[in-house]
Amino acid sequence: MSESIRCTLVNCNCECFQAGKINIRQCDHCKHGWVVHALDKLRVNHLYQQSQVEIVQSNVVFDISSLMLYGTQAIPIRLKILLDRLFSVLKQEEVLQILHSLGWTLQDYIRGYILQTQCEHQSSSQTSDQRFM
């Protein structure tokens, strides 16, 4: 991460996100989370405030989603509402592609968190793939 990413929380004057040593999603400078910093870079607030839906490209949605979903196993409800809005302008295949590349399934996303059954998934993946073909 070469660019400096400011913290977007009001009253926080942190100028640059610094990944924490224990929790990489927490800023070492100001102890706030990664997402509140990343919002600055992505100008999600700007998207939010548009009264008309602008054309949202799937790669932009991917960037935003990756900030919220990658490396986590649960989505805070406010972020999920935002993601729901962004996903609603994409085709379902695009949404599935984004979720899958970030390690989420649609079911997990709808639920709001990832169920801890990865070993089970792996051992049964062959049979379920075959079923879908």
Task: Provide the phi-psi class of 71: left if phi over 0, else alpha when psi is between -120 and 50, else beta.
Answer: left
Is 80 a binding residue for Zn ion by CB under 5 A? The answer is no
Nearer to Zn ion, 32 or 85 (CB): 32
Would you count residue 114 as binding Zn ion (CB under 5 A)?
no
Which of 20, 25, 26, 32 touches Zn ion (CB under 5 A)? 32
Radius of gyration of the CA atoms of the chain, in A: 17
Which residue type does 37 have?
H
Q: Which is nearer to Zn ion, 25 or 29 (CB)?
A: 29
Instruction: Return the number of other C-beta atoms located less than 10 Å from residue 80's C-beta.
Output: 17
Question: Looking at beta carbons only, is 38 or 86 nearer to Zn ion?
Answer: 38
Window of 28-36, 42-50, 58-66, 92-100 that interacts with Zn ion by CB under 5 A: 28-36
Q: Which is nearer to Zn ion, 27 or 67 (CB)?
A: 27
Overall residue count recorded for the chain in this entry: 133
Binding to Zn ion by residue 41, rule CB under 5 A?
no
Strand partners, 113: 74
Q: Which uninterrupted H or E stretch holds 99?
A: helix 92-101
Q: Which residues bind Zn ion (CB under 5 A)?
A: 7, 9, 12, 14, 27, 29-30, 32
